Structure 1
Amino acid sequence: MPKQIWVSPRSNGWAVKSSGSPRASKIYSTKSEAIKAGRQQAINNHAELVSQKRNGQINLKNSYGNDPMPPKDKD
């Protein structure tokens, strides 16, 4: 299973958490701060960034590692 960094809503802000980790690495007061930190963590770990809305729906997925489905060349 590829590594994922999740940005999820919490009652006290937005959590950034690695898949497989029992706890969030940090809680941020705004979603934009959490996404910025999560993106940097995903880049550093060659992982996928997954962000959720307040209702739990996934609204963002970006891969910063080995993408199993790379785009086809147009050449």
Structure 2
Amino acid sequence: MSEPRKQANNPLHGITLERMLTELVEAYGWDDLSFRIRINCFAKDPSVKSSLKFLRRTGWARKKVEELYLYYLEFDKKEEE
């Protein structure tokens, strides 16, 4: 029997989509977020709840949020400190 895959090298391990989205909205705001990731749920009457619903169903959009979150962790969050 093989061991379960380790997540040690995955910086997103244990971070929920809701947390990622909330931190990105706090850092950038909805307007900048909709500019960085061009999806309607960020541009038209945005909310965390409706955006999560869309992102959970749409793999390509979720991937873009995850990529932006990784960028945020690596570059933008360090500048805030």
- TM norm. shorter chain > 0.5: no
Greater helix fraction, Structure 1 or Structure 2 = 2
TM-score, scaled relative to structure 1: 0.28
More strand by share: 1
> Structure 2 length normalisation: TM-score?
0.27
Larger Rg: 2
